């Protein structure tokens, strides 16, 4: 009874907190410059992508190094549905989720028999190979890519409401909705099954949990969220191209999830902010080191790798876990 009341209380707090956070973010978008608004939109995109990893790795225990490719699946599905079916933008996002989830269900069915480095290697191969397939099919636009036009902001928002603010509103609302839905999903029967699966698959099977089915479901849900993140990313750059979904994107998302704390949904904001800040940090470092093209192109990947190693060694459960332990020890 106490657990039920505690969970209901957390749900009520979340139901109140999320609209307030959304309102604060939208008001903030009117008080910062265009660059910060655009960066805010990218933070929201990475929040969705990092949550997809948290659900998969933090709760079901499956490791994926190929979520950048799943983002590409969602992005291409969204833009193709717009070009050929002339769907409204909101429906192209649903198409992105369904396409990536379907692809993830197929991949998850095969990956359900794999664990540890074997699963990581399989998804890494996907990240390396899948985006390059766009060059082999003319209708996917090749390296030039396909334009993804979400349209101008509604007139009722006013003449001063810019395109970047529109991107921020859409991606920010998507991130809030996904965070709230994920929060409730993890508190449900499925979330409890995934936690049991991650802790001890054998014990979970003895408890009556269908291990293979639970793994596939987790992979499917995670892939759908990655597809949505891919469509949102394509929206912010107004283009879908293989170069927008490199292999390094998959590693960046995993790094963001580790920085977030692989089991902490709220930590996804921390990871996303760090990922968006990396280009600025590397730009400043490149300028300080001479600004050569070689240094500029390699620094982001190097910094991401260093961050991942440091995070795994120093705070594998995220900085929030360390802060919680510190508060408990001081009480």
Q: What is the pLDDT along the chain (331 residues), one digit of tens a residue?
A: 444 444 556 666 666 666 777 677 777 777 778 888 999 999 999 999 999 999 999 898 888 888 999 999 999 999 999 999 999 999 999 999 999 999 999 888 876 666 667 777 778 888 888 777 777 787 888 888 899 988 888 888 888 888 999 999 999 999 999 999 998 899 899 999 998 888 888 788 888 888 888 989 999 999 999 999 999 999 999 999 988 998 889 989 998 998 888 888 888 888 898 899 888 777 777 666 666 666 666 677 777 777 777 776 776 666 665 655 555 566 5
Q: Which of these, 280, 258, 281, 287, lies nearest to 271 by C-alpha position?
A: 258
Q: What is the pTM of this model?
A: 0.89
Cα dist. 129→122, 316, 327 in Å?
A: 11, 29, 46
Q: What is the pLDDT of residue 160?
A: 82
Residue 139 host element (H or E): none
User: What does the longest C-alpha to C-alpha distance in the chain come to?
Assistant: 63
Residue 58's Cβ-side half-sphere holds a number of Cα atoms within 13 Å equal to: 28
Q: What is the pLDDT of residue 319?
A: 62
Q: What is the pLDDT of residue 221?
A: 96
**Residue 69: other Cβ atoms inside 10 A:** 30
Cα 64 to Cα 14: distance, rounded to the nearest angstrom: 29
Cα 7 to Cα 282: distance, rounded to the nearest angstrom: 42
Beta-carbon contacts of 142 under 8 Å, excluding residues fewer than 6 positions away, are 134, 135
Q: What is the pLDDT of residue 74?
A: 96
Task: State the Cα angle at 177 between 227 and 71, rounded to 5°.
Answer: 10
Q: Which of these, 246, 259, 226, 258, lies nearest to 300 by C-alpha position?
A: 246
Taking the chain, what is the end-to-end CA distance rounded to the nearest angstrom? 27
């Amino acid at each position: 009874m106490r657990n039920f009341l505690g969970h209901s209380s957390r749900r009520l707090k979340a139901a109140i907190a999320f609209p307030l956070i959304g309102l604060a973010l939208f008001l903030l978008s009117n008080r910062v410059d265009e660059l910060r608004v655009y960066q805010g939109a990218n933070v929201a995109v990475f929040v969705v992508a990092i949550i997809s990893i948290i659900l998969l790795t933090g709760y079901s225990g499956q490791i994926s190094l190929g979520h950048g490719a799943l983002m590409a699946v969602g992005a291409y599905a969204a833009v193709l549905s717009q070009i050929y079916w002339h769907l409204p933008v909101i429906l192209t996002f649903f198409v992105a989720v369904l396409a990536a989830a379907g692809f993830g269900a197929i991949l998850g069915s095969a990956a359900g028999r794999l664990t540890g480095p074997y699963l990581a290697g399989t998804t890494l191969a996907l990240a390396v190979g899948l985006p390059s397939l766009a060059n082999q099919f003319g209708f996917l636009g090749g390296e030039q890519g396909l334009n993804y036009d979400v349209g101008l902001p509604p007139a009722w928002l006013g003449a001063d409401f810019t395109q970047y603010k529109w991107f921020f509103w859409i991606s920010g609302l998507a991130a809030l909705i996904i965070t709230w839905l994920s929060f409730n999903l993890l508190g449900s029967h499925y979330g409890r099954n995934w936690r049991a699966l991650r802790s001890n698959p054998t014990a979970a099977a003895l408890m009556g949990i269908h291990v293979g089915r639970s793994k596939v479901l987790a992979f499917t849900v995670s892939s759908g969220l990655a597809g949505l993140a891919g469509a949102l990313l394509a929206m912010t750059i107004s283009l879908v191209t293989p170069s927008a979904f490199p292999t390094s994107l998959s590693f960046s998302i995993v790094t963001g999830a580790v920085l977030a704390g692989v089991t902490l949904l709220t930590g996804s904001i921390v990871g996303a902010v760090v990922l968006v800040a990396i280009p600025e940090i590397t730009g400043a470092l490149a300028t300080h080191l001479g600004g050569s093209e070689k240094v500029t192109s390699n620094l982001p990947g190097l910094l991401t790798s260093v961050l991942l190693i440091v995070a795994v060694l120093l705070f594998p459960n995220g900085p929030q876990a360390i802060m919680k332990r510190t508060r408990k020890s001081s009480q």
